[in-house]
Copies of this chain bind each other. A is one copy, B any other.
Amino acid sequence: LLCKQIAKDKDKLPIYVGEVGPVWSYPENQLDCVVADPKKGSKMYGLKSYIEYQITPNTTNRPVNHRYKHFDWLYERLLDKFGSAIPIPSLPDKQVTGRFEEEFIKMRMERLQGWMTRMCRHPVVSSSEVFQLFLSYKDEKDWKFGKRKAEKDETVGVMIFNTIEPDAPELDPLEVEKKCEQFSRFTKAMDDGVKEILTVGNEHWKRCTGPLPKEYQRIGKALQNLSTVFTSSGYQGEATLTDALTSAGKTYEEIAQLVEEQPKKDLHFLMETNNEYKGLLGCFPDTIAVHKAAIEKVKEGDKLVATNKITPQDKGTMAKRLSTMSYSLQAEMNHFHSNRIYDYNRVMQLYLEEQVKFYETIAAKLREAHSQFTTM
């Protein structure tokens, strides 16, 4: 398992040791793309219809079209090729009823955009031939040819480790094990943390779109109703009060609407980001399992040499490979951390910004309602 050797020079994946530890080689200009403009297409004289998305990379600035199933094809290729070393997050859910509904298409596009952005940001994934093909094939022929080639790619599974070349001294297996344990603990803990946020967020979403606005609406109606009763008193000179009461009631109805619409403006992105991370973190156990299996193999090394199952030289190669795997995992973790810091910073800022606006809008509306009552 640890001992095959292939890899052309251009496919080499270097790892450098930077300030934070082992890191992948990052391109100077980060790849990015825009997923937009979903269009209904059809095949076989309209018998089969589908949605096609337009993807425009910042490199060529030339849009290419892809259906969901092409994304899925790309996902399978990336998983085959890099899955042992790099967590490749799943695509948004495959198929649900009503997949031509506008709301669904919008949501799927948003999530495909999120997935593509994450893949573009990954230096290894984004520079791979298959990913480049997906983003910038020239024509149908180019695409078909590239597809066939990618499907025949033999550097899949653990083979990927053969292409990785750390520019650093070999690591001690004990050090490797320690690092691996640490990553395992961290990803598990973060998985729990993310799931907790998702649970709490879901409950909050339900409350904000369910009972809470209904309650504000009832408060609003009750005030307006009291105003109507007061108007019927026949007593002179209470128009100021009844107008103010009506307006306060309407304000609470407006607040009901604000409350109901707010989650779409802030909680939505917090949930989407955490959902993405839940997906990413779900890939780590497999990656870490591959790693742990290799550690065990190397630990068995002495026994294998003693029973003449491998040569001492083989054992040395195995330890070197394990070191490479560890550099790869460390580079990946560092990639993950730097993205995590960026993503959570951004999403928390967005969330809090919108929350501030929300509470300020309500305060302003209530201040306006307050000003309509008479000071006596």
Contact = CB atoms under 8 A, between A and B. Distances in A.
Contact of A204 (B196, B219, B333, B370): B219
A363 B356 contact: yes
28 contacts: A20-B236, A186-B234, A189-B232, A193-B225, A193-B229, A196-B225, A197-B222, A203-B218, A204-B215, A212-B212, A230-B344, A235-B338, A235-B341, A248-B352, A342-B376, A345-B373, A345-B374, A346-B376, A352-B366, A356-B363, A356-B366, A356-B367, A359-B360, A359-B362, A359-B363, A359-B366, A360-B363, A363-B363
Interface string A346-368: 10110011011001101100110
A194 interface: yes
Secondary structure of the A contact surface, majority rule: helix
Contacts of A129: none
B235 A222 contact: no
A163 B173 CA distance: 107
A135 interface: no
Contacts of A204: 215, 219
Contacts of A235: 20, 333-334, 337-338, 341
Contacts of A12: none
Nearest to A194: B226
B222 A376 contact: no
Contacts of A370: 349, 352-353, 356
Nearest to A374: B345
Interface in A174-224: 182, 185-186, 189-190, 192-194, 196-197, 200-201, 203-204, 207, 211-212, 215, 218-219, 222-223
The 6 closest A-B pairs by CB, nearest first: A352-B370, A359-B363, A235-B337, A193-B226, A193-B229, A189-B229
A375 interface: yes
The interface size bin for chain A is 35 or more
A78 interface: no
A158 interface: no
A33 interface: no
A300 interface: no
Contacts of A366: 352, 355-356, 359
